[in-house]
């Protein structure tokens, strides 16, 4: 049995996974018709926080609050930040993050993978906020295959995929799988290193945020659902499989008992639709809030 004194010196590995616009009711462990066996496995083997609230109903402020432990207005990030290339200010150097605390005070190795959405200014990027390495995109959303950001159809699309600040091109690779691959690779790299220092991985999936893109193999799994729910189910299922791969890698590296895994969504499901750069309407059907009312942008549950 672990004593309180032991807990003071224990340094577990930490994996923090944040989904994007996932509805409270869109996991099978929360009553959805979607099948999410890997997240169900995580829920069954751990604790479900069913009375837990995001600090904001939109993405940038909720992510700033998660990283800092502060209310959004105390981080300087109070609204959805822009994602166009250039110096978009965001999380400033003066705001502490859990990555900085873990790295600088407890000797953790740290990495960010996936969606950042806390500014594109140099001072706002992940490596300025406690992450030794980072791979992902800086905007609020992008095309899952081309990795172009084209939120505003009046502007030219901007490529937005980075590896430690260097722009990289992986056209045609599905973003959810890309981020899972990077997360699994980081765990393997840390496991192979000659170090006893623990690690902290912050993984920000962009699923199931619009645009509504899903691989054919996942769409085929949900032929029985209406088209709107079918695409959402496929996106969530691909993310769930990715999390399964991460959990399996922890098992493979004999790290499961030494690792705390946290999973959450940044805010509620969205009811929106967006006009994309080709001028067509791309419906964003969002997800289900389950037993609650409201959605992204609202302050209902």
CB pairs under 8 A, 24+ apart, for 106-109?
106/11, 106/198, 107/11, 107/197, 107/198, 108/11, 108/14, 108/197, 108/198, 108/199, 108/200, 109/190, 109/193, 109/195, 109/197, 109/198, 109/199, 109/200
* 232, 238, 241, 242 alpha-carbon torsion, rounded to 10°: -120
- Is 141 known to be catalytic? no
Q: Are 160 and 120 in contact (CB under 8 A)?
A: no
Q: Phi and psi of 32, rounded to 5°?
A: -75, 160
Q: Are 127 and 164 in contact (CB under 8 A)?
A: yes
Distance between CA atoms of 198 and 107, rounded to whole angstroms?
7
14-28 burial, b if ≥16 CB within 10 A, otherwise e?
bbbbbbbbbbbbbbb
Distance between CA atoms of 151 and 109, rounded to whole angstroms?
34
Give me the catalytic one of 117, 129, 213, 295: 117
Give me the catalytic one of 38, 59, 141, 213: 59
C-beta neighbour count of 292 within 10 angstroms: 13
Distance between CA atoms of 259 and 242, rounded to whole angstroms?
17
- Is 38 known to be catalytic? no
Distance between CA atoms of 232 and 237, rounded to whole angstroms?
8
Q: Are 49 and 42 in contact (CB under 8 A)?
A: no
**Mind telling me the catalytic residues?**
59, 117
């Amino acid at each position: 049995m672990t004593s309180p004194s032991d807990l003071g010196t224990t340094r577990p590995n930490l994996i923090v996974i944040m989904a994007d616009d996932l509805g409270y009711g869109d996991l099978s462990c929360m009553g959805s018709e979607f099948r999410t066996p890997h997240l169900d496995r995580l829920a069954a083997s751990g604790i479900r926080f069913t009375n837990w609230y995001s600090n904001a109903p939109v993405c940038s402020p909720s992510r700033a609050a998660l990283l800092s432990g502060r209310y959004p207005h105390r981080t300087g990030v109070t609204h959805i930040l822009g994602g166009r290339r250039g110096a978009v200010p965001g999380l400033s150097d003066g705001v502490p993050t859990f990555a900085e605390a873990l790295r600088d005070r407890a000797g953790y190795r740290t990495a960010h993978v996936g969606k950042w959405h806390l500014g594109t200014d140099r001072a706002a990027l992940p490596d300025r906020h406690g992450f030794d390495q980072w791979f992902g995109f800086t905007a609020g959303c992008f095309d899952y295959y081309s990795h172009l950001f084209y939120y505003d159809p009046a502007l030219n699309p901007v490529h937005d995929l980075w590896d430690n600040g260097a722009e990289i091109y992986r056209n045609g690779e599905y973003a959810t799988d890309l981020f899972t691959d990077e997360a699994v690779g980081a765990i393997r790299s840390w496991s192979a290193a000659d170090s006893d220092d623990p690690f902290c991985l912050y993984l920000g999936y962009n699923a199931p945020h619009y645009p509504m893109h899903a691989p054919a193999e996942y769409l085929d799994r949900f032929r029985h659902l209406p088209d709107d729910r079918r695409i959402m189910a496929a996106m969530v299922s691909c993310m769930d499989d990715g999390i399964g791969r991460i959990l399996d890698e922890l098992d493979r590296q004999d790290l499961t008992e030494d690792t705390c895994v946290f999973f959450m969504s940044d805010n509620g499901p969205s009811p929106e639709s967006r006009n994309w750069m080709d001028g067509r309407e791309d419906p964003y059907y969002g997800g289900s809030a389950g037993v609650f009312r409201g959605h992204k942008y609202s302050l209902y549950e």
